[in-house]
A and B are shown apart, each in its own frame.
Chain A
Amino acid sequence: MSIYQGNALRVDLTEGSFHWDKTPENGIGGRTWNSVTLLRELDAGIDPLGPENLLCISVGPLTGSKLQATCRFIASAKSPLTGFLGDSGARGFFAAELRWAGIDQIVFSGASESWVYLYVNGDQIELRDASHLAGMDITETTLQLIDDHGDPDLQVATIGPAGENLVKYAIISCNLARACGRTGMGAVMGSKKLKAIAVRGSKPVIPVDPARFDKACDDLMGAIEGHRQFESRRLYGTTRIMESLSDMGVLPAYHYRSTLFEGLEEVGSRALRRDHMVKPKSCYNCTVYCSRYNYTSYSEGEGPEYEAQAAFTVKCGCTDLELAVHVSNLVNRLGLDCISSGEVMAWLMECKHEGIITDDDCDGIDLSWGSKEALLKLPEMIAYREGIGDLLAEGTKIAAQKFGTEARKLTAEVKGLELFSADPRGIKGFGLMNAVNSRGGDHYRGEPTIELTGDEELALRRIGNRDAAHRLKEEGKGALVNYAEHLGLLSDSMTVCKNISCSMDVIDFDLAAEAYSGLLGKEITAQDLWLVCSHVSQVEREFNLREGLTREDDTLPERFVGKPIPDGPSKGTIIDIDRLVEDYYEVKGWEQ
């Protein structure tokens, strides 16, 4: 059945023209449309940075509605970092504005000869010259476009120097610091010489059955405000997990060499709030307003989230929180993914610690743990591809090939995508998620958060297995990850914030079905939505198989396989990733 078919704007950047089309008929918004579009229209083996790649930007029918936190847009393309399906979502305010402009999906094809940006103002749609924006960072570009159009309410999604210079983990950002961070969507945008998308719209999102829709909105708001994490998320946002991951013994200190970090107090969530947070910030239509605006002696900006904070402190062995906050601001401005760039730097520091790489290999930059010089200089060198930055811009998988086998053994990537800031051995559902999901080493496809809360009853209700709620048990994890993936795909299609839908776990398929039914004025069941997600999950798998994915790609980095966690509360824990992957394949019905 077709649940909702939206308006797709097709922009041919080679020709400088556009026309209207419809989104694929068998989707429910966001990632479902993008993945289907890419499987249908891309040929296998294309160059991700060639004009034959497509860049899809989608919102969904619920985006910009009264339903809380429907604030995301999803960018998808074949990834230049992994060579497989790439996609990433950004929160903030751009997505709602795009929906109000009457656009559900933009599909960019071809490549422009000179820098352009897409300007949408209601029914006015133009590709405009962006030569004056070339070279500008994300903040400068955004402010320049606001100034050019005399419109402070303009919503801008843009790339920075990293995207222009085709850094394989370049981001697309809106509202300066809300990023499509993963899998290098900013590089694809840069390869098309598309600097930015600037949008204003005024078409309201109108529910067909307002009473039913309002009830779903009220139910969601009630569930959020009644949640046990509601207050701590307001106070600390995602940085709140820094201390809890430490308590679990899965902190990635000194690039996963230890789970203990002396001085955690001084780089943790409380220190961040105490020393650098000047106010909370919110994304579109959210009572949690979990983001934070920081002010340091170096710079100011929104963030950091947990991943940036952990990457530039514990993972790089840095005890200078103010420096780490600044580095977060810096990578945001340059347009680099904080996870991948943090991983690149932490890996280099470990290689130096092991004597595999010397400072001289990296233009004389001090690569000691927590080196201020490295943390300040490397992001710029990567974004502008200067010196060693040119190699590091390819990601750790490619960079490691230059430094030899021992350096490669220390990398933490899956399918070329760098891992998040936690030890996958001590949270086995997350470990499995990192191994098998469609975009590579990544926790955010869907989050098997039940294993963080240990809620057995919820695990029983969701997947019929209590054991799955235990982070150190391997039983039931295939089913747990399958459920979490479906929920993640649903979230990426509703375009709702995953901190709410997945991490707080307050949206399920029943609530989603009520929201879709109320908005669209027709009966859509939880089963309908589940089936769409199952189908698109297979579409994504098919895309990756077509690009040469094999069973061997679905695993964890060598450094985690067969080796126990060295210290801390999870000391001695080993992950049997083969067993977990087999379990997952069985749940999926895939051949081993």
Chain B
Amino acid sequence: MIRCDIGLCVGCRMCEVSCSAGHYVGVSSELSRIRVAKMEGSGIDLAIACLSCLEKPCLECPTLALSVGSRGEIVLEEDDCINCRACYEACPVGAVGYHDDLPLFCDLCGDGPPACVEVCPTGALSNTEDVEISLRAFMGFDGKPGQKRANYATIESEPIREGWASGVRVDG
């Protein structure tokens, strides 16, 4: 799964650009399966894609159009999707995209290396397997996907911001 080191992300959105261009040729943020929470006012940036969390609330699909692939990625059977947006709204960290009446899930770019990891200029992104992440702590948050991403980034950033306040600077 694509993970982002919040201490390294500078918010350039090159991951979004490469994801969007890789899947659709065209580029826009909304076409990307990885989205950067850019926190105005706190300086925090965090790229968020499907973390293949232990809970996988997205799988509560009324038509069972979603399943888990061999590497933990969520697979959509497009013909079965009824555009109800349940998965989009269920993800506790807003990692499900939506475009042209279909949900978008990180597919790890199929067989090749994930484009976002390849392009990330700071090395903040990595493709890690065998890491089990629980997002239970974020499941109670009520809001739109963008707000859930922001909530996740805000909570994840607390140690970093505490460090800044106590004098930690970019070089240590």
Q: Which residue of B lies closest to A174 (CB)?
A: B40
Contact A280 B10, beta carbon cutoff 8 Å? yes
A204 at the interface (CB under 8 A from B): yes
B159 at the interface (CB under 8 A from A): no
* Cβ contacts A279-301/B at 8 Å (1 or 0 each): 11111111101001101000011
Contact A302 B21, beta carbon cutoff 8 Å? no
* Cβ contacts A514-557/B at 8 Å (1 or 0 each): 00000000000000000000000000000000000000000000
Known A100-B28, A153-B29: A285·B12 in contact at CB below 8 Å: yes
| Shortest distance between the CB of A106 and any CB in chain B (Å) | 19
Most chain B CB within a 10 A radius of its CB, from A93, A151, A204, A302: A204
Residues in A with CB closer than 8 Å to B31 are 202, 204
Most chain B CB within a 10 A radius of its CB, from A153, A202, A274, A289: A153
Contact A285 B25, beta carbon cutoff 8 Å? no
| Shortest distance between the CB of A238 and any CB in chain B (Å) | 16
In the assembled complex, the Cα of A153 lies from the Cα of B143 at a distance in Å of 13
Residues in B with CB closer than 8 Å to A301 are 43
Contact A207 B25, beta carbon cutoff 8 Å? yes
Contact A146 B27, beta carbon cutoff 8 Å? no
A464 at the interface (CB under 8 A from B): no
A424 at the interface (CB under 8 A from B): no
B17 at the interface (CB under 8 A from A): yes
Contact A143 B25, beta carbon cutoff 8 Å? no
A142 at the interface (CB under 8 A from B): yes
In the assembled complex, the Cα of A262 lies from the Cα of B146 at a distance in Å of 49
Residues in A with CB closer than 8 Å to B14 are 285-287
Q: Which residue of A lies closest to B32 (CB)?
A: A204
| Shortest distance between the CB of B70 and any CB in chain A (Å) | 30
Contact A284 B12, beta carbon cutoff 8 Å? yes
Known A201-B28, A204-B26, A275-B169: A281·B122 in contact at CB below 8 Å: no
A278 at the interface (CB under 8 A from B): yes
| Shortest distance between the CB of B116 and any CB in chain A (Å) | 13
Q: List residues of B (51-109) whose CB comes within 8 Å of A's CBs.
A: 99
| Residue among A202, A203, A273, A278 making CB contact with B168, cutoff 8 Å | A278
Contact A143 B40, beta carbon cutoff 8 Å? yes
Residues in A with CB closer than 8 Å to B171 are 273-274
Contact A100 B30, beta carbon cutoff 8 Å? yes
Contact B28 A295, beta carbon cutoff 8 Å? no
A152 at the interface (CB under 8 A from B): yes
| Residue among A152, A273, A279 making CB contact with B147, cutoff 8 Å | A152
Contact A150 B10, beta carbon cutoff 8 Å? no
B33 at the interface (CB under 8 A from A): no
In the assembled complex, the Cα of A150 lies from the Cα of B164 at a distance in Å of 28
Contact B27 A205, beta carbon cutoff 8 Å? yes
In the assembled complex, the Cα of A283 lies from the Cα of B12 at a distance in Å of 6
Contact B26 A206, beta carbon cutoff 8 Å? yes
* Cβ contacts B1-38/A at 8 Å (1 or 0 each): 00000010011111001001100111111110001011
Known A152-B146, A275-B169, A279-B170: A203·B12 in contact at CB below 8 Å: no
Contact B149 A293, beta carbon cutoff 8 Å? no
In the assembled complex, the Cα of A179 lies from the Cα of B68 at a distance in Å of 45
In the assembled complex, the Cα of A286 lies from the Cα of B12 at a distance in Å of 6
| Shortest distance between the CB of A561 and any CB in chain B (Å) | 43
In the assembled complex, the Cα of A284 lies from the Cα of B150 at a distance in Å of 18
A277 at the interface (CB under 8 A from B): yes
* Cβ contacts A200-241/B at 8 Å (1 or 0 each): 011111110010000000000000000000000000000000
A65 at the interface (CB under 8 A from B): yes
A448 at the interface (CB under 8 A from B): no
Q: Which residue of B lies closest to A142 (CB)?
A: B40
Known A139-B41, A287-B121: A206·B30 in contact at CB below 8 Å: no
Q: List residues of A (80-138) whose CB comes within 8 Å of B's CBs.
A: 93, 96-97, 100
A176 at the interface (CB under 8 A from B): yes
Residues in B with CB closer than 8 Å to A282 are 10-13
In the assembled complex, the Cα of A284 lies from the Cα of B121 at a distance in Å of 13
Contact B170 A277, beta carbon cutoff 8 Å? yes
Residues in A with CB closer than 8 Å to B17 are 66, 285
A175 at the interface (CB under 8 A from B): yes
In the assembled complex, the Cα of A340 lies from the Cα of B64 at a distance in Å of 61
Residues in B with CB closer than 8 Å to A142 are 40-41
Residues in B with CB closer than 8 Å to A202 are 28-31, 99
A416 at the interface (CB under 8 A from B): no
In the assembled complex, the Cα of A220 lies from the Cα of B99 at a distance in Å of 30
Residues in B with CB closer than 8 Å to A287 are 12, 14, 121
Known A205-B27, A279-B43: A284·B122 in contact at CB below 8 Å: no
Q: List residues of B (123-172) whose CB comes within 8 Å of A's CBs.
A: 143-144, 146-147, 149-150, 164-165, 168-171
Contact B13 A285, beta carbon cutoff 8 Å? yes
A→B interface (CB under 8 Å): 64-66, 93, 96-97, 100, 139, 142-143, 146, 150-153, 175-176, 201-207, 210, 273-287, 289, 292-293, 295, 300-302
11 additional A-B pairs beyond A66-B27, A204-B31, A282-B11, beta carbons within 8 Å, are A143-B41, A150-B146, A152-B149, A153-B146, A176-B40, A205-B26, A278-B164, A281-B43, A282-B12, A292-B170, A302-B43
The 8 closest A-B pairs by CB, nearest first: A204-B26, A282-B12, A206-B26, A202-B30, A152-B150, A293-B43, A204-B28, A287-B121
Q: Show 24 residue pairs from A and B whose CB-CB distance is below 8 angstroms, ordered by the A residue.
A: A64-B28, A97-B29, A100-B28, A100-B30, A139-B41, A142-B40, A150-B144, A152-B37, A201-B28, A201-B30, A202-B29, A204-B27, A204-B28, A210-B25, A278-B164, A278-B169, A279-B10, A279-B43, A281-B10, A282-B12, A287-B121, A293-B43, A295-B165, A302-B43
